[in-house]
Amino acid sequence: MMTMIAEIYKHQNGDNFHSVLYCVDMGGSVVRSVTDTLLEVVSEMHASEIGEIEGLFLKAERGEYVPDNPDLPDWGVNDKFVWLGRSDIERGYILISNEYSEDFSSEFGTPQLFSMDQFRAAFKFWMEFQEICKLKGKESMEGEKVYGVL
């Protein structure tokens, strides 16, 4: 079991507040393979994009998704790429790479495997956190951690 943590911090050089999402293991250590791939995709995508990726997930889960080019990612945001139509991925799973992180890049590293349900759970958690921020205000949430299970 891993824990997702979402929190707000204030930038050192100003009045801006920033949301951050990361994953820790049972010992409290940050799990880079999850944080730098799955959670970065989730935290960087726009809420309106969930419909597009969910449509791809549903097609893939039914066995109806055929990629135009299996060597290219099926979806992505800010150089974080998602594959779901490659022949080496079981139905219901996705690979996520982060081209800014050599360890998890598609060219030099190893993209990480997640279930589509893990993606959905992470996205739901992040959207719920964003709603809490709207209700309470980011300023009042500085330093407060919100926890979820992945």
- Rg of the chain over CA atoms, in angstroms? 16
Distance in angstroms (rounded) separating the CA atoms of residues 32 and 58: 28
Average pLDDT over residues 54-61: 95
What is the tens place of the pLDDT at every residue in 67-95?
988 889 999 999 999 999 888 899 999 99
The boundaries of the domain holding residue 113 are: 3-149
Q: Tokens 């597009």 belong to which residue?
A: 52
pLDDT at 113: 97
The model's confidence at residue 13, banded by pLDDT at 50, 70 and 90, is confident
Report residue 121 as tokens.
């759970």
Count structural domains, the chain: 1
The model's confidence at residue 137, banded by pLDDT at 50, 70 and 90, is very high
Distance in angstroms (rounded) separating the CA atoms of residues 129 and 110: 29
Residues 6+ apart with CB under 8 A from 31: 2, 23, 24, 25
pTM given for the model: 0.93
What is the tens place of the pLDDT at every residue in 30-40?
999 999 999 99
